[in-house]
Amino acid sequence: MEVKSAEFIASYPKVTACPKDGKPEFAFIGRSNVGKSSLINMLTHKGLAKVSGTPGKTRLLNFFLINQSWYLVDLPGYGYARVSKSEQRNLQGMINSYFKYREELISAFVLIDSTISPTKIDLDFINGLGEAEVPFVIVFTKTDRIGSDTMNRNIEAFMGKLAETWENLPAYFISSAEKRIGRTELLEFIAKWSRKAK
């Protein structure tokens, strides 16, 4: 897929306010500081998402229209940085509502930091998606920051943890916004499932 156009549509505080035109949606989510904005910008070429030095800045459901045919949805992160308990609950409720009620969602992309060992918060989030039957794939980010041996060990450890409770493991991609690794594969995945949604 070639990204010919990408434009910010709006930010929405709740799922009932989101677009109602039926276009397929692909949502991006991850723990704070996982590199979500950098990955979105790498995919679109457009510098759409704001890369902040302070993790956890996304507070709304941010919709970007790509090629006039599908939405890239930038969701608030989990493991929220420097927010109150009440705001954490509000953000989690907004995310849960999006996944539960948004029929246009084709797949979520759950971003996982490849430079660290498996964390409980990531594993719990993915297990929650599985229990709720939300379609998703995993994207391991920041793969340029470590050697291939360490990256492979961390990915194997993460998938191994999932294998303790999953009968069929979710698909995953490796990526680097800096080196543009994974861009073609992710866009091909989106193109394939966008066509099936029509």
Task: State the pairing for strand pair 25-30/105-113.
Answer: parallel
Taking only the tens place, the pLDDT of each residue in 164-182 is 999 999 999 999 999 999 9
For residue 158, give both structure tokens: 């993460």
With a pLDDT cut of 90, the percent of the chain lying above it is: 80
CATH 3.40.50.300 fits 6-197, yes or no: yes
Question: In this model, does residue 54 exceed pLDDT 80?
Answer: no
Say how far apart CA 66 and CA 51 lie, in whole Å: 19
Taking only the tens place, the pLDDT of each residue in 126-145 is 999 999 999 999 999 999 99
Say how far apart CA 77 and CA 50 lie, in whole Å: 14
Question: In this model, does residue 80 exceed pLDDT 80?
Answer: no
